[in-house]
Amino acid sequence: MLAQALDKDPAKRPDSATAIIERAERALGAPVRRRRGPRRAAAAAVAAAAACGAIALATTGDEVASDRSPAPSLAPGARAIGSALAPGDVRSVDCRGRRPTRNSPDCTVLQTRLPDRPLSVTRAGAIRRWTVRGAGGELALQVLHALRGRYRQVTRSQFENVRDRGVHTFTTDLPIKPGELVGLEVAPGASIGVREDRRGATTARWFDPVRVGHRGPTFGPGSGFDSELLLRVDYQPGARPRLPAAVTGRPAVAAPRGRVLGSEYVEVAGGRLRRTVAVRLPGRVALDLFGGDRRLARIGVPGADPRGQLLLLRVEFPLVDPGPELTWRNPSGRIVVHQYQVRPRSLRLIY
């Protein structure tokens, strides 16, 4: 209904949760600020609810569907983690194991045991692709560190919009080490594909998605959701993720200024303040770190088209892993979100 209100022409209506929310925010004409005013917060909540309903309508249907499409081949030199994605009967469910609706919560879902299939790595490497079957809506791949039955997020991919229940593959570039597992962060109203006839399969779920700090699951193995999670990750042993490195020292000081788009202060070790600044440069977007008036570091914003727009620059977890989260919208409508860690004289891309 919100999409129809935003554009009378069906061909021009936004068709994803992200696009609907963005169009609604543009219609309001309010600036992006760290603290939302009551008008924008209420409108965003309405937009989010309507968008989640749109996702739910797109992903509901028969309780069990038969998908006979073959699983895609592995990336060159890659090994598989997780499900084999074998064709057959697939059930699409939300985080509660039910049919997805506009009220379906967001969560993290993790496969903790799957007979005869590897779920972790024995050697550090890089994740190049991830594939799902039977899912729908907004999903992101998470890498989680396990410690005595508790988990924390190490990194995650960008959110992807899965438009139907078929097999869908997404490229990424994430590091993974021994002792780390892969799961899915599921947006409100989205669904995952599961196969319920796999004996010995176990899962864990968090109804507040895992981000920082080691946390035990909201529901662990044996809680009635122990199915095969239809998620496969293509991992290259020994490979390194192609993440941008920060420029520091004299090269950072001498770097071109660029056009300032937004800034945010971060408190680092010793109570010192550092200023992070998003800048537009010829052909790219970057994040700068300043100590006073001196530029200490610069790092790129992967996937950000400089013709796009900065939507948000904020410090989400200032006491745990200090650093800004940057949200960028490309001209195509794609949203790029990155989290950075700020150190006294450098920047690091977390995801």
Predicted structure pTM score: 0.73
Angle, nearest 10°, between helix axes 38-59 and 17-28? 150
The string of DSSP letters for 28-52 reads HTPPP-SS--HHHHHHHHHHHHHHH
> What is the residue extent of each domain of the chain?
2-59, 64-237, 247-349
Q: What is the pLDDT along the chain (351 residues), one digit of tens a residue?
A: 566 666 655 555 565 565 666 566 555 544 433 333 443 444 444 444 444 444 433 434 446 777 788 999 998 899 999 999 999 899 999 999 999 998 999 999 999 999 999 999 999 999 999 999 999 999 999 999 999 889 999 999 999 999 898 999 999 999 999 999 999 999 999 999 999 888 999 999 999 899 878 899 999 988 889 999 999 999 999 999 888 889 999 999 999 999 999 999 998 888 889 999 999 999 999 999 999 999 999 999 999 999 999 999 998 664 456 789 999 999 988 899 998 989 899 998 888
pLDDT score for 6: 65
pLDDT score for 7: 62
pLDDT score for 95: 92
Rg (CA), the chain: 21
Q: What is the phi-psi region of residue 232: left when phi exceeds 0, alpha when psi lies from -120 to 50, beta otherwise?
A: beta
Closest CA to 294 of 259, 249, 262: 249
What is the DSSP-derived secondary structure letter of residue 240? -
pLDDT score for 122: 92
Distances (CA, A) of 261 to 45, 304, 327, 332: 26, 13, 12, 19
How far is Cα 235 from Cα 232, in angstroms, rounded to an integer?
Answer: 10
How far is Cα 330 from Cα 16, in angstroms, rounded to an integer?
Answer: 15
pLDDT score for 12: 56
Dihedrals phi, psi of 85, to nearest 5 degrees? 60, 40
